[in-house]
Amino acid sequence: MLDSLSRACSECSIHGGCCFEARPPLSQKRIDILLGNGVVPEEIEFAGYSRLKLKPDGFCVMFEDGKCRIHGIKPETCVAGPFTFDVKRKILQIYLKRESICPMVAILKQNRGLFDQLFDLATEKIVDLVRALPAAELEEICKIDEPETDLVAEILLKDV
C-alpha cells in the first residue's frame, strides 16, 4: 500500500513541494546514519536544532533530480510525510497537513487502510525522534508554526 504513496510523491503536482524549505530535525542517531552513508558534515547545520541544510534555491540539500538522494535513510519527519507534530506537556500531538500543502492527503482520505498504515509508521518515527532529541532542541522545533494542518491524534508520552 505504501508503494502507492511513493508513487504519489513522485507524481506530485507540487514536485518536491515537501522538500522545499524543509528543515527536518535530526537526532544524533540519524546524523550518525547519514554520515555513515555518504552525507558530508557540511550538509548538516545547527540553528536551534540539528537539521539538514537548504540549498540556495530553497530545497533540501538532499533533493536532487526531483527526488531525495537519501530516500532509504531519510529523517523521521520525512518518512512521516504529511503528518507532523507538536509536543505540549508530555502530550504528542499528531497533525495532518491539508491537501493544499500535500496532494497525498487526498489519497489518504480516500483510503482508510492506507491512512492507518502511514499514520502508524509516522507516529512510530515521530515518537522515536521526540525521545531521541535533547529537550532544548525539541523545544525549538515545537516553536515552528505549521499552518494548514489539522489535529488527528494526541498521545501521552510518559518518558519525555
pLDDT single digits (tens) 27-79: 999 999 999 999 999 999 999 999 999 999 999 999 988 888 998 899 999 98
CA R_g for the chain: 15
Alpha helical stretches, state H, the chain: 2-10, 28-35, 76-79, 104-110, 112-132, 135-142
- Domain spans, the chain: 2-156
Name the more confident of 36 and 2.
36
pLDDT in tens, 124-157: 999 999 999 999 999 999 999 988 999 999 999 9
Cβ–Cβ under 8 Å, residues 79 and 121: yes
Q: Supply the pLDDT for residue 50.
A: 97
User: What backbone torsions phi and psi does residue 36 show, to the nearest 5 degrees?
Assistant: -75, -10
